[in-house]
């Protein structure tokens, strides 16, 4: 009677491939990140972009050093009837409380960017929690509003960080369009990057004190609005419940 021999290594490989397929197909409804299987370990993933048919894009500004251009950014956003999210570091809040209030008074969203801007993937869970809670409390003390979104410094994250975010009711947000404005790019160069990479549901990363940020924001908003995009905050773009996130960090509405 004919028979075939299947090596145990082959069986293990097949089983591993099956696990990958199953895990990638699993949805993680209502959580702030998705669990995706990478090789021999699972990894949580934050939101990089939103799947939507609406012509809607979010602009975000990370604020850690300097504030002299922030009011001008606010003014340009108001001129174009656009919203945005400012991710603030705790020590920036300490130094510029009047700008925190100005951002909030303008109806713009404020998220946390940690308290001291460390690489939070290298911190213990206790330190991560402290970074988030202290920065959130500083912002809330000025705005009287709950902080709902967080951007990891340097874009660095791990499971510990994202699990802690979930516990604190924060949605971790990255970006799919990097303006690279911190490199000193001109306004036209920044806008060219946006034109090339942005689409429905995109999240644009900018910095509040980049060399040419005011002109960059103006040119970017001019391009986006003329092309029919609604420019909004991260909080208004992302789904807060009944969603899934795929392996590429794209958030989908269920």
pLDDT, tens digit, for every residue of 127-184? 999 999 999 999 999 999 999 999 999 999 999 999 999 999 999 999 999 999 999 9
**Comparing 195 with 39, which gets the higher pLDDT?**
195
Q: Give me the pLDDT at residue 28, please.
A: 42
Better-scored residue on pLDDT, 113 or 6? 113
Average pLDDT in the 205-213 region? Answer: 97
Find the radius of gyration of the CA atoms of the chain. Answer: 20
Domain boundary assignment for the chain: 49-253
Residue appearing with tokens 């293990």: 12
Q: What is the mean pLDDT of residues 197-219?
A: 98
Give the pLDDT score at 43.
Answer: 83
- Rounded Cα–Cα distance for residues 103 and 108 (Å): 6
pTM of the model: 0.86
CATH number listed for the domain at residues 49-253: 3.20.20.370
31-51 per-position pLDDT tens digit? 556 555 444 457 889 999 999
């Amino acid at each position: 009677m004919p028979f075939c021999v299947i090596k145990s290594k082959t069986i293990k490989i097949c089983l591993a491939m099956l696990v990958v397929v199953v895990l990638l197909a699993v949805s993680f409804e209502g959580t702030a990140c998705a669990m995706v299987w990478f090789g021999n370990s699972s990894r949580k993933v934050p939101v990089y972009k939103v799947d939507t048919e609406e012509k809607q894009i979010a602009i975000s500004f990370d604020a850690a050093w300097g504030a002299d251009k922030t009011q001008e950014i606010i003014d340009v956003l108001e001129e174009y009837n656009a919203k945005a999210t400012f991710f603030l570091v705790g020590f920036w809040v300490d130094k510029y409380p009047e700008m925190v209030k100005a951002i909030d008074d303008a109806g713009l969203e404020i998220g946390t960017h940690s308290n001291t801007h460390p690489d939070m993937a290298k911190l213990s869970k206790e330190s991560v929690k402290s970074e988030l809670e202290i920065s959130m409390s500083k912002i809330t003390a000025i705005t009287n509003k709950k902080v709902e979104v967080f951007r990891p410094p340097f874009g660095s994250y791990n499971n510990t960080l994202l699990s802690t975010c979930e516990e604190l009711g924060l949605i971790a947000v990255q970006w799919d369009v990097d303006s690279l404005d911190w490199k000193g790019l001109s306004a036209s160069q920044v806008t060219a990057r946006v034109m090339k990479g942005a689409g429905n549901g995109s999240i644009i990363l900018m910095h509040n004190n980049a060399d040419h940020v005011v002109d960059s924001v103006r040119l970017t908003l001019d391009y986006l609005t003329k092309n029919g995009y609604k420019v909004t905050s991260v909080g208004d773009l992302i789904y807060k419940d009944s969603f899934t996130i795929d392996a590429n960090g794209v958030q989908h509405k269920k």
